[in-house]
Structure 1
Amino acid sequence: MLETIRNIDREIFVYLNSHHTEFWDPIMVLVSERFFWVPAYLALTIYLIYTFGRRGYMKLLMAVLAVGAADFISSRFFKPGFARLRPCHDPELSEVINIVSGCGGKFGFISSHAATTFALATFMVLVLPPRYLWFKIILITWAAVISYSRVYLGVHYPGDILAGALLGITMAWLFEKLYQKILQRYAYFRR
């Protein structure tokens, strides 16, 4: 059964990875680059603090903790624990796939990019008021595009992405619960 799942994951990966163009290659490299998003993170930070005051600081802290936990767990536990080669390091695949810009570390299960972006996006979806629906849609789309870019670039299987997204969503949910408990307990952050 596990072998069947791996084979399906490989087939989907090869199919998705084969659809690339010279136009999209540099765009996907940029989308996947963590430092490219620093201005957006700064803008989000300023907006949260300006709009929500003390609650904004707490939202920001919990978001950072959710992202940090997702990154730590994916990098320190899953990748070395499962030791699944990235597709670009797999000798059976490395000759037939498109590796656009380097390969990264040896192991790929689970995707830290998917875990961290879905942790941030999901946490914001959970803590922002309903009137921010348009922004919530943008955040989930952003996380999905970054996650897809990892398959496009040849460094993760779709299963790596799915598992990373699930980890990120789980961390977001846990830290949102902690955020709500802090708001209930400390009136200071409700202002």
Structure 2
Amino acid sequence: MNIDTLLGYDQELLLALNGSDSQFMDGLMMALTSGMTWIPLYIALLYLVIKNSETMGQIALIVACAALCVLFADGLADGIVKPGVARFRPCNDPLLRGVVQTVDGYCANGLYGFFSAHASNTFSIAVFFSLLVRSGILSTGLLLWSLVCCYTRMYLGVHYPFDVLVGLLWGGTVGCAVYFLYYKFRAKMSQSKCFVSTQYTSTGFSTDDIDIVMLVLVATLIYTVLRGVLH
């Protein structure tokens, strides 16, 4: 199977996932894909870190690691790979003009879309916090959040499925690598403890505080549904 065949399959899958005749879905996808929508989630994760850390140094280390996730995930995609590979976004591709559906003329920033920074950013954060907190419900929520964000990029016609897949692979790699760095530095700052309690995860995060993060995530999803209804 040659590269042209693979790209052909990529286009076919994109067209199967792209757009709909539903005003509600259009509004929902636009709300879900916006970085501004997820600010409450980021604040809730910061609250979780602050509430469950022993020192300012530990807080600073986790915040720095989360920033590294975004820097490595986004920096490689937007700063190096997109201009280097120069693969058009579907909505900018002359071969698909008039075929790809967009919402309110939205085509994201920049001509090129390989690979998806949305996919790599969200997945790197999801993987890092999953490894950090070790909560099944939080891990599931964050991983689904990332995958939903990925789907919106194809629905809106700003990324091909292969753009998203590579973004997920890179984001997962970054999340794991940054957590490894965190673990090494964390071990030097204080002795690692293993918590055995239904009130805490094995890494010492309160289940009550995790519930607050999940509540914020659910409330944000409800907000996006209302945005879809009002679109």
How would you bin the TM-score normalised by the shorter chain? Answer: over 0.9
Moved more, 134-143 or 39-48: 39-48
Match of 1:46? 47
What is the CA–CA distance in structure 2 between the aligned matches of 1:95 and 1:53, rounded to whole Å?
Answer: 56
Equivalent pair of 2:50/2:59 in contact (CA under 8 Å) = yes
Distance across 1 between alignment mates of 2:100 and 2:40? 32
Give, in angstroms, the shift of residue 27 of structure 1.
Answer: 0.9
- Whether contact under 8 Å (2:19, 2:102) holds in the other structure is no
Give the deviation of 1:185 after TM superposition: 2.1
Identity of aligned residues (%): 34
- 1:182 aligns to 2:222 (yes or no): no
- How much has 1:94 moved relative to structure 2? 2.2
Partner secondary structure for residue 156 of structure 1: coil
Structure 1 unmatched runs, 5+: none
Alignment match, 1:125? 130
Q: Following the alignment from structure 2 to structure 1, what is the Cα–Cα distance between the partners of residues 153 and 23?
A: 16
Pairwise CA distance, 1:100: 1.0
Instruction: Tell which deviates more after alignment, 147-156 or 41-50.
Output: 41-50
1:107 corresponds to = 112
Instruction: Quote the residue 2:98 is aligned against.
Output: 95
RMSD of aligned residue pairs (Cα, Å): 1.8
Q: How does 1:8-23 map to 2 (within 5 A)?
A: 8-23=9-24
- Residue identity opposite 1:140 in structure 2: L
User: How far apart are residue 174 of structure 1 and its match?
Assistant: 0.8
- CA distance change for structure 1 residues 127 and 25 in 2, over 3 Å: closer, same or farther? same
| Secondary structure of the corresponding residue to residue 155 of structure 1 | coil
Whole-Å separation in 2 of the counterparts to 1:53 and 1:14: 50
2:222 corresponds to which residue? none
Alignment of structure 1 residues 29-40 onto 2, 5 Å = 29-40=30-41
* Structure 2 Cα separation of the partners of residues 20 and 183 of structure 1: 50
Alpha-carbon shift at residue 188 of structure 1 (Å) = 7.9
Seen in structure 2, the aligned counterparts of structure 1 residues 18 and 42 have a Cα distance that, compared at 3 Å, is closer
Aligned partner of 1:4 in structure 2 is: 5
1:58 Cα shift?
Answer: 2.2
Q: Which amino acid aligns with 1:127?
A: L
**Matched residues in 1 for 2:183 and 2:9: separation?**
40
Q: What CA deviation, in whole Å up to 9, does each residue of 1:90-136 have, x standing for no partner?
A: 1121201211141121000001100100010011111113xx10111
Instruction: With the length of structure 2 as denominator, give the TM-score of the two structures.
Output: 0.77
CA distance, structure 2, for counterparts of residue 7 and residue 147 of structure 1: 20
Is 1:164 equivalent to 2:171 in the alignment? no
Deviates more, 1:50-59 or 1:82-91: 50-59
Q: Which has the larger radius of gyration?
A: 2
Q: TM-score, normalised by structure 1?
A: 0.93
The 8 Å contact of residues 49 and 57 in structure 1, kept in 2 or not, is answered as no
